[in-house]
Amino acid sequence: MANTSGELQGFSQDNYGYLVYDLENKKIVKGHNINKEFIPSSVTKLFTTLFASEILGNEYAFSTTLLYNGNISEGILTGNLYLKGSSDPELSLDELLTLTEGLKSKGIKEVKGNFFYDESLFATRDMLDQEMPSDAFYNAGIGPLSFNSNTIFVLQRRDKDGKISSADLLPSLPGFESHIYNNNISYPYIRFKSSGNREIWEFPDKYLWDNRQQLPVKHPGLYTSLVFQKLCAIHGIKLTHPSKRKAESSIKTICIVKSKTLPAVIKNMLFSSNNITAELIYKTTSTEYRGKNDLNTGRLSDMENFYKTGFKGINWSNFRIVNASGLTPLNRATPAQTAAVLLFIEKSNKTDFRLENILPLSGWDGTMKSRLDQPEAAFRVYGKTGSIFYSAGLAGIFYAKSGKRYIYSIFINDMAEREEYDRKKVKSSDDINRGGSWSKKASSAIDNFIIKQLNEL
């Protein structure tokens, strides 16, 4: 029988690893399996953070551009309009409205030509990870022209008897449909199908889903341009239905909107653990990295190559990055590698980029709001959480009751259970409940371990 009496109660000592580093005395004070590889899940975003900061620089901002060709006369653009994305992970309604104001500033009330969206910067995908549920809001499509983390909302509507009668999508857009069904209700309760560019959702008429729920969008460029078209219509500007095409090089600019600078975008990503943001940051960073280094990385991903060639003091032989968000069971990292990234960020001491600036705080905000919120732990622990079924992690910096600061990284995995889960092509509600129970147990064990360190160190 596996030994489950170690420092992370309820788990085999072979299935977890941790490292605690004393910043004042510059030494590891506690460690177990520090060089063993684990599935890091969303703790992966720490590796993405440092990669982006070093390659793009902390003054970097993402842009979205509205362009045209042809002529403007008496409120009519006789030519084509282009909405071009450059991977802004936080493109918002405010920014799209600013682009709408750009059309107004040119006096344009109608485009008598085509409305194109340009997402040519990199190849789009209809979901982040093929092995994850396709209907999960965190597994949306990805492209360089993205809006609202590529999610759309569904709102329940009930009749006078309180029965669910319809499901409205917000925003309401052509090509996105929602229907209610009342037969053969079984898991998964929410059904999705795609027909060309049409995204069709079906919801049960029983209370098995939230009153207001996020859904993943599979065609982000089309979705973003449809939202922009809707905003333009509201503001009295007529555009044709959008279609996809790369903008010509000789085209003219109407308006450019820029995101916040990189540290603010990264902070939001780490606070919310936003997968789309992580992947878009990585795509941009990867393009810049290759441009600067003329790389031939072979089988290595750009992030793997960055760490293996640039951080010589750490063993990276078992480091693996398949995606930048951690939404995969295929990534691998060790407690030592993770602590090294945290230590590098700590030592760099960049403005607005200290660990305390970019990581959520226990009991207070982000993904740490409901973690370590006991009186003895709240406000003491900054951390990046990570969790997929049978993989849990937490890494960051904490203030012990002694007043000293410590960097830490902790992982718990059950590879056998994860492999068994992945072998099942169709997951039952029992599979989901079992995985969820494991995740809660692992998070509790990690939190109890941290509380012990706060008291002892």
Per-residue pLDDT of the chain (457 residues; tens, 9 = 90+): 344 446 898 999 999 999 999 999 999 999 999 999 999 999 999 999 999 999 999 999 999 999 999 999 999 999 999 999 999 999 999 999 999 999 999 999 999 999 999 999 988 999 888 878 888 888 899 999 999 999 999 999 998 888 888 999 999 999 999 999 987 787 778 889 888 889 999 999 887 888 899 999 999 999 999 999 999 999 999 999 999 999 988 899 999 999 999 999 999 999 999 999 999 999 999 988 887 666 555 567 899 999 999 998 899 999 999 999 999 999 999 999 999 999 999 999 888 899 999 999 999 999 999 999 999 999 999 999 999 999 999 999 999 999 999 999 999 999 999 999 999 888 888 999 999 999 999 999 999 999 999 999 9
* pLDDT score recorded for residue 4: 45
* pLDDT score recorded for residue 297: 56
* pLDDT score recorded for residue 300: 74
* pLDDT score recorded for residue 293: 66
User: Buried b vs exposed e over 289-324: b needs ≥16 C-beta within 10 Å?
Assistant: beeeeeeebeebbbbbbbbbeebeebebeebbbbbb
CA dihedral 175, 180, 183, 186 (to 10 degrees): 80
d(C-alpha 215, C-alpha 151), whole Å:
5
- What is the residue whose two structure tokens read 């007529």? 238
Q: What is the pTM of this model?
A: 0.91
In one-letter notation, the amino acid at residue 340 is A
Burial bucket for residue 21 (CB in 10 Å: 0-12, 13-18, 19+): buried
* pLDDT score recorded for residue 128: 86
DSSP code, position 125: B
* Both tokens assigned to 420: 């068994």
For residue 171, say if its preceding peptide bond is cis, omega within 30 degrees of 0.
Answer: yes
C-beta separation of 227 from 147 below 8 A:
yes
